[in-house]
Copies of this chain bind each other. A is one copy, B any other.
Amino acid sequence: MKEILGYKGRALKAISEAGAEIGDTAKVTCGKQSHEGILIPRSEYADVEHVVLKLRSGYNVGVRVTLGTKIQKVGKGATPKFEAPPPPKQKPDLPKVAILSTGGTIASRVDYRTGAVRPAMTASDLYSVVPELADIAQIKTRILLSVFSEHIKAEHWTAIAEAVAEEISGGADGVVITHGTDTMGYTAAALSFALHNLPVPVVLVGSQRSSDRPSSDAATNLIGALTVAAKGPFAHVTLAMHGTVSDTSIAVHLGAKVRKCHTSRRDTFKSVNASPIAIVDEGQIVMLTSNYVERDRARQLVLKSEFSEKAALIKFHPNMNPKIIDWYVENGYRGLVFEGSGLGHIAGYCFDAIRNAVKHDLVVGMTSQCIWGRVNMNVYDSGRDLQAMGVVPLDDMLPETAIVKMMWIFGQTEDADQAKTLLKKNIAGEFSPRTLPDIFGVE
């Protein structure tokens, strides 16, 4: 049987029998129900039962293949390549920006419009989609990964950090990374810890609606991110996405302070316990803080891109089983981050397990599941007791940033004391000063 991208078992068999291929228009009928659309590829994790069609509406539908299911090839797919205009001439006076693609919705126009899976994000493809880009920077594009971001893990963070370092040493004045939004906040934190002494801005960008849907935010976000990479006065890892429901304003968040806070809205990313560092509005960058490291091409980047898998995030809830903590100890974990309740608490019935973890030299950090605010483990007995056991209060650090930091720390050192010192040190702006106005939620 011919290989058909991502399909296995029953689904592959039915498609093969219909003589259909990726990109072809197919009709899948089962009883009275039928769906017609472009046959699109599946991921490596796909099951054996479903065929996925892109409907004319732009939505994808998965149809289960059972005994009675019939697949017909209705039309031959267009050749999965763009009829892109020749790329506009690069303007040599503009800053040089490298765009690294990792996958996700923002890359899906190129992927899925014709049914082709491989992101073909050449510079000319990008220009054909968003011609304004040519007026902002000289663009070099590079396809690094092609995965939806829920599958991104530490080894990908390392690869992205290394690619950023290469581009910067190759002369880039800024780097844009396109990324699925699901775990883009985690990757933003990871790069914040991995890229030290940055000379130029690094900007993560994604989109909440794919470019084949009329409401897509992909172009606006990409223009905003490119503007920041090319012209931003700062040299930080940031994340640029729609800041409000308005269509013109892009918020630029510090990588260690940003979190995805809504499943579908375009302004899903929020700086937590901090303000965005800048806004991009009609091509202009407006700084919202004067507290940033200025861009300086002469600065020498230091790459610290190793991460350990031996760290875990545990969200506390009533009746949480303390044996889970023991499990991590028994399995050689080095660091645990708790999402405690309120100011940084855990139930007393977990105390023995936490004591045991600390006794076994695990580093244990405490964040709050409230998300906003900061832990304060001096107010109540539970907090004081946990501190006395050796639990480290992580102030206003996001739980998501904290687990990434813990993974990064044990990529740098094996020593628990050094690890604790790193954990408490403000490395990438993950701690906000106490004097900040009390920022809560969304304006």
Contact = CB atoms under 8 A, between A and B. Distances in A.
Interface of A: 42-47, 49-50, 52, 59-62, 64, 148-154, 157, 180-183, 186, 260-265, 267-268, 270, 307, 309, 312-321, 323-324, 327, 331, 339-349, 351, 368-376, 378-382, 384-385, 388-389, 400, 403-404, 407, 438, 440-442
Contact of A378 (B61, B150, B341, B389): B61
Given A64-B388, A384-B52, A345 B182 contact: yes
A323 B317 contact: no
A388 B315 contact: no
A206 B43 CA distance: 48
Looking at chain A's contact residues, the main secondary structure is loop
Chain B CB count within 10 A is highest, among A62, A268, A370, A381, for A381
Given A150-B347, A373-B264, A385 B182 contact: no
Contacts of A343: 182, 263-264
A320 B340 CA distance: 18
A351 B381 contact: no
Contact of A442 (B267, B309, B442): B442
Contacts of A379: 59-60
A388 B186 contact: no
A154 B318 contact: yes
Given A148-B345, A321-B312, A372 B263 contact: yes
A349 B45 CA distance: 8
Given A43-B348, A181-B342, A315-B313, A372 B262 contact: yes
A307 B318 CA distance: 11
Contact of A318 (B186, B320, B388, B438): B186
Contacts of A345: 148, 150, 182
Q: Give 5 closest A-B pairs by Cβ, nearest first.
A: A263-B373, A441-B442, A45-B348, A182-B341, A182-B342
A151 B50 contact: no
A411 B374 CA distance: 35
Contacts of A319: 153-154, 307, 309, 407
A60 to B, nearest CB: 7
A154 B267 CA distance: 37
A153 B341 CA distance: 13
Contact of A317 (B50, B59, B313, B320): B313
10 contacts: A43-B385, A62-B381, A153-B319, A183-B341, A186-B318, A260-B342, A312-B320, A313-B317, A324-B327, A442-B442
